[in-house]
Structure 1
Amino acid sequence: MRDSQSTLELTGVSPRGPTRLPLASLSHRGGAAMKFGYMCMNSAYGIRPARLAAELEQRGFDSFWVPEHSHIPVDRTSPFITGGELPEGYLHMMHPMVSLASAASATTRLKLGTGVCLLLQHTLPDLAMQTATLDVVSDGRLEFGVGVGWNAEELADHRPELPFRQRYSAMRERIDALRTIWRDEIASFEGKYEKLSSSWVYPKPVRGRIPILLGNFGPVGIAHAAACADEWMPIDHMLKGTDGKPDVAGRIGEFRAELEKNGRDPSTVPISLFMFSRPTPDRIERYAALGVHRLIVSPPHANLQDADFTLRHLDDLDNIVRDFGAAVG
């Protein structure tokens, strides 16, 4: 866990209580409108999903997001996606679908998202049923964020037959298969990686489909997102140029160019950004000018966070959400 000083510098959240942004610093900046989501590490040591979701809905957030890792193999050699040591929170994640079902029971408006579901680590019919069930019990509020993951050993425990380098191709086929099952009364699918004999798979999503959001951020991931995603949701600080320096605008431009290559209108494919640093007014306005419609905010570290820490963090975000938040509902 980081020390108290670094936590304060990065989040404005003191271990002893919130450091609120002064209202005067925000009151004159009303030009940008942004929706805000919130993601936590969702461990058994932290705030319960239902309580957090109710807090988020009451505070004007648009959505609640939880990540997924079924397990972390002790003997892994896969490097952590951002480098360095694996944060402790990755060892303690609760099941995303069960957690979001709990959140659904405590809310009526808040969108519920996976950030992200490692969709290759589930069986096809079970994942189709889980997601559609969650969509039904939440009255159509599920946003299905998906990714392929970075942990080769974790994937191998689920899919020993699937080469890690083929995970993007397998992801695309899994997305096609899910959409087929959600749509068709009697569904069947046969591809290179997926096979489902003619079957009844219920329930069906409330709107006939569930929005699929891709969290990929490299050139390959951007190309796949542009080809098949309903929305793109990368991590802002992972969007870099060829020189390795941050380049959010450049990567958004690349994504929109890829959309056009696929015959898709860029104005019809929304962009959300995960943000693991403090959402300053300048950055919110800059991202809004780039066409980003939602920021999904998270504590800046992925260590274990108790309920008090999370509530202090939300207190610190209240001014931002109030002054920049777009109407939600």
Structure 2
Amino acid sequence: MRISTTIFLTDETITPVRLARELEARGFAGLYLPEHTHIPVERTTPYPQGGELPREYGRILDPFVALGQAAAVTERLGLGTGVTLIAERDPIALAKQIATLDHLSGGRFTLGVGYGWNREEAADHGVDWATRRELTHDRLALMRALWAPEPTAYEGEFGRSVRASQAWPKPVRGGAPRILLGGAAGPKLFARIVAEADGWMPIGGRGLTESLPVLREAWEAAGRDPKALQVVPYAVLPNAGKFAHFEGLGCDEAVLQLPPGDETEVLRVLDRYARFA
């Protein structure tokens, strides 16, 4: 099993360059970064984990800039987002960012896609909360049009379209980078995964014994290769039994949560986790 990591990188933590180098030196498989453009102070949305929203949420570095730095100082380390809030981004510009990062890193990028949880943040981007999922997939389809091998037009349902265009570079593997959808288990999410993604990125990995067979059944019913489905438990705390459980379920990658600490703290945790990598 490949062991990757995720962390809230901020202006107060270890730097992307130092972290990426240390991850690769210790044999970790990848680095996934979350995103929030901003956290409105006046908000009513509760923190999903309960209690006060941790300080790091309002200080997150832009994941694509940080991953670009990580790509430049590594050769093998996988690079990903966990997750990109596509509904809050301009899809034409985002398609270019993703394709460029994937090209410059030699195809090491994974696009984790999420729908978000902070209503106030989304509202500042002009997102109608009730249709954010549909908007996300509409914009993903527009990006796929720009990544297509031949100029391809796309007429969106939410007022964003693109003409058939020259748009290079392309994702290295062709068509799109690896795409994993985040979100809670359920028929709507699983239908989207089957139709539009390479797999699922469940937070924590709890309940996979029950939910994964349901996803596999939907995947195979759609005629997709059973061996191609990728399920990547995300933001997990490590122990050998947990990894054995994931591996027994057919997962070949898991993502460990690192603390949003300074260099000393993060490297100390990496040394402790290195035995799993």
Q: TM-score, normalised by structure 1?
A: 0.79
Which one of 188, 197, 200 corresponds to residue 166 of structure 2?
200
Aligned to 1:126: 93
Which one of 97, 101, 115 corresponds to residue 82 of structure 2?
115
| Distance of 1:267 and 1:217 partners within structure 2 | 22
| Distance of 1:210 and 1:294 partners within structure 2 | 17
Which one of 176, 179, 204 corresponds to residue 141 of structure 2?
176
What is the deviation of 1:126?
Answer: 0.2
Aligned to 1:256: 216
| Distance of 2:179 and 2:229 partners within structure 1 | 11
User: Following superposition of structure 1 onto structure 2, how do residues 209-228 of structure 1 map, counting pairs within 5 Å?
Assistant: 209-219=176-186, 220-228=188-196
| Distance of 2:221 and 2:180 partners within structure 1 | 19
What is the deviation of 1:147?
Answer: 0.7
Confirm whether residue 274 of structure 1 aligns to residue 234 of structure 2.
Answer: yes
| Distance of 2:224 and 2:139 partners within structure 1 | 21
Q: Secondary structure at the match of 2:274?
A: helix
Which one of 3, 8, 29 corresponds to residue 62 of structure 1?
29
Q: Secondary structure at the match of 1:275?
A: coil
| Distance of 1:263 and 1:93 partners within structure 2 | 40
- Is the contact made by 1:125 and 1:201 (CA closer than 8 Å) also made in structure 2? no
Q: Cα distance 1:99–1:38, how it changes in 2: closer, same or farther (>3 A)?
A: same
Aligned to 2:272: 316
Unaligned runs of 5+ in 1: 1-33, 240-246, 322-329
User: Following superposition of structure 1 onto structure 2, how do residues 20-169 of structure 1 map, counting pairs within 5 Å?
Assistant: 34-158=1-125, 160=126, 162-169=127-134
- Is the contact made by 1:274 and 1:295 (CA closer than 8 Å) also made in structure 2? yes
- CA RMSD, Structure 1 to Structure 2 (Å): 1.6
- Is the contact made by 2:16 and 2:67 (CA closer than 8 Å) also made in structure 1? yes
Q: Which has the higher contact order (CA 8 A, sep 6+)?
A: 1
Q: Secondary structure at the match of 1:274?
A: coil
Q: CA-to-partner distance for each residue in 1:182-214, whole Å, 9 max, x for gaps?
A: 114423210212311233222222222311111
| Distance of 2:267 and 2:38 partners within structure 1 | 27
Aligned to 1:9: none
Q: CA-to-partner distance for each residue in 1:57-115, whole Å, 9 max, x for gaps?
A: 11111111111000011112122222322111111100110000000111011111011
| Distance of 2:199 and 2:263 partners within structure 1 | 30
What is the deviation of 1:230?
Answer: 1.0
- Runs of 4 or more consecutive aligned structure 1 residues displaced over 4 Å after TM superposition: none
Length, aligned pairs only: 274
Which one of 234, 251, 254 corresponds to residue 292 of structure 1?
251
Q: Secondary structure at the match of 1:143?
A: strand
Q: Secondary structure at the match of 1:199?
A: coil
| Distance of 2:35 and 2:100 partners within structure 1 | 18
Aligned to 1:232: 200
Q: TM-score, normalised by structure 2?
A: 0.93
Q: Secondary structure at the match of 1:226?
A: helix
- Is the contact made by 1:234 and 1:273 (CA closer than 8 Å) also made in structure 2? yes
Q: CA-to-partner distance for each residue in 1:226-253, whole Å, 9 max, x for gaps?
A: 332112111125x4xxxxxxx2211112
- Is the contact made by 1:146 and 1:212 (CA closer than 8 Å) also made in structure 2? yes
Unaligned runs of 5+ in 2: none
Letter in 2 for 1:309: E
